[in-house]
Structure 1
Amino acid sequence: MKPLVTTALILLTLLEASCATTLPGPGAVNTAPPLSYETYALGAEKPEALLVALHSSGSTPESWDASVKALDIAVRVVLPRGSRPRREGFTWFPEDHEKKDGAGKTADVERVAAQLADLIREVRRAHPEIRRVAVTGFSYGGDLAWMLALRHPELVEVAVPMGTRLLGEPARSLPPAHRVLVLQGEEDAIIPVQQTLARVADLKAVGVPIDVRTYPGVGHDAAPQLVEDWQVFLRQVLQAP
């Protein structure tokens, strides 16, 4: 399926900030570099569903093209790009991100998630027909997809984070109609599957509408069965009345 709207590259300078445990205060400035993104529509001129797909570290937005076009549904796609060059692609967080403790990592993710939240608002202002928003991502992109669902439930109804650490604690309740599905390889050497299972169980216990699917023999990778389940789930939630 070919895009029905010409791709546009839009540069946003975003001025929200956040910290590890609180939301941005008045007048706070987000010091993370500005983000750019690409957007196009599939299946209709004005789709009512929006899918924001976030690439992994060292990758590019274009890595999502084949998967999102294979959804074969009416959807507007937004593909943000991490602001920091890494290897052959881009990344989202500073070089010292992995050296930080849990609070420091969470703060990094919250800062970029605040930028992405503004990006979603910008897209929705330009396309007021949008009624449902889903976010997804792998690895660092998965961390951001989860943080958007956690910190910005007024913007995001559905999240599919993959290979994620699920950083941050709920500061408020997520609406029960929201959906979060975590996809995780059981042989992931970066994100241990038992850690993910325990984290999801803890979140469910406090009322977060979250589920997890794991995949035997799959590492820190988007294996074919994982991608197929990702597509089936998104088709269902993005086409729901």
Structure 2
Amino acid sequence: MMKPLHLAVLRMLPALCLACAHPPQAPREAPVAAPALTYETYTVGAGEPEAMLVALHYSGSTPGFWRPLLEDWRTPTRVVLPRGPHPRREGFTWFAAGHEQKVTAEKTADVAQMAARLAELIRELRAAHPRIRRVAVTGFSYGGDLAWALALRHPEQVDVAVPMGSRLLGDPTPGAPATRRVWVLQGEVDPIITAPQTAARVDALKAAGVPIDVKVYPGLGHDFSPQLIEDWRTFLQQQLRTEAQR
């Protein structure tokens, strides 16, 4: 006669075989959500703003970089200073680690994705402040890459763009309304973004119908100069004035 222990083991065999045939699967990890975009906003100039300036900092910096440059701003303007979502050095950056190691097409895709998020932020701010009639975007280095991408891919949200020390990635979007004006500011001896590269890109885009110009600053590297800042301030305030102020 079979012992009770042996009978118990036989009764368990079907369940054991089923467990072997269908081993438990490791739980799937949920996709990591992109870090939220945060921003500062305030008004400069006297009166109720009908203009908005979105300024995008360079990698490793913070929105506070722009505040001294906006002192004594005469044109009534709502200033919007987004912050890159990824910590870097003492500040923040716009793209995850490894962005620079990617090929050009992948870099362009990263920039396009972040530009789409910034365009949505601009859309929300315009809805929240319906008096806004003109929007300018500007930025330096990675911030300049994004300013250019916003003008190129989201011209319905952007009237004026001033990219500085930036790569002009991508091509015009077919059928999209043109951004009214793009002015590229570039250092002559920039070791990261070369002046001849930028000039050739501007010429090609202008031939394609993009309203774009470039100004090259002699002896300037990947940096700002007093003359560049003065030109930047003068141009943007002129472009952001309403017809009544002109």
Which amino acid is the alignment partner of residue 201 of structure 1? D
Query: Where do 1:89-238 residues align within 5 Å?
Result: 89-172=91-174, 175=177, 178-238=180-240
1:42, 1:129 → 2: CA distance? 15
Q: Deviations for 1:88-137, whole angstroms, at most 9, x for unmatched residues?
A: 10000011000001110001101110110111011111110000000000
Name stretches of at least 5 consecutive residues in structure 1 with no aligned partner: 1-28
For residues 129 and 67 of structure 1, the distance between their equivalents in structure 2, rounded to whole angstroms, comes to 24
Q: Classify 1:78/1:119 alpha carbon distance in 2 versus 1 (closer, same or farther; 3 Å).
A: same
**Shift of residue 240, structure 1, vs aligned partner:** 4.3
- Kindly provide the CA deviation profile for residues 175-226 of structure 1, in whole angstroms up to 9, marking residues without a partner as x: 4670000000001000010000000000000000000000000000011111
User: Contact (CA 8 Å) 1:174, 1:208: kept in 2 or not?
Assistant: no
What letter corresponds to residue 239 of structure 1 in structure 2? Answer: R
- Corresponding position of 1:39: 41
Cα pair 2:39 2:80 within 8 Å, conserved: yes
The structural deviation recorded for 1:46 is 2.8
- Indicate the residue corresponding to 1:17 in structure 2: none
Matched AA of 1:165: R
User: Is the CA contact (8 Å cut-off) linking 1:41 and 1:77 kept in structure 2?
Assistant: yes
Report the TM-score, using the length of structure 2 for normalisation. Answer: 0.83
What CA distance in whole angstroms lies between the structure 1 residues aligned with 2:32 and 2:87?
A: 19
Bigger drift between 182-191 and 36-45 goes to: 36-45
Paired amino acid for 2:96: P
Shift of 1:35: 0.6
Question: Which of 86, 89, 97 is the equivalent residue of 1:87?
Answer: 89
Which one has the bigger helix percentage? 2
Aligned partners of 1:182 and 1:213 also within 8 Å? yes
Shift of 1:171: 1.6
Rg larger in structure: 2
State percent identity of aligned pairs. Answer: 64
Q: 1:172 Cα deviation (Å)?
A: 2.2
Distance 1:50 1:155 in 2: 11
SS at match of 2:161: strand
Amino acid in the other structure paired with 1:187: V
Contact 1:173 1:208 in 2 (8 A): no
Paired positions, count: 213
Q: What are the Cα deviations for residues 76-96 of structure 1, in whole angstroms up to 9, with x where unaligned?
A: 000000000000100000110
Contact kept? 2:164, 2:185, Cα under 8 Å: yes
Q: Deviations over 1:123-179 (max 9, x none)?
A: 111110000000000000000000000000000000000001100111225646700
Q: Distance in 1 between matches of 2:170 and 2:33?
A: 20
Identify if the C-alpha distance between structure 1 residues 36 and 177 changes in structure 2 by more than 3 Å, giving closer, same or farther.
Answer: closer
CA distance in 1, matches of 2:212, 2:34: 29
Structure 2: any 5+ residue segments left out of the alignment?
A: 1-30
After TM superposition, the score normalised by the length of structure 1 is: 0.85
CA separation of 1:177/1:54 partners in 2, compared to 1, >3 Å: closer, same or farther? Answer: closer
User: 2:216 & 2:125 partners in 1: Cα distance?
Assistant: 33
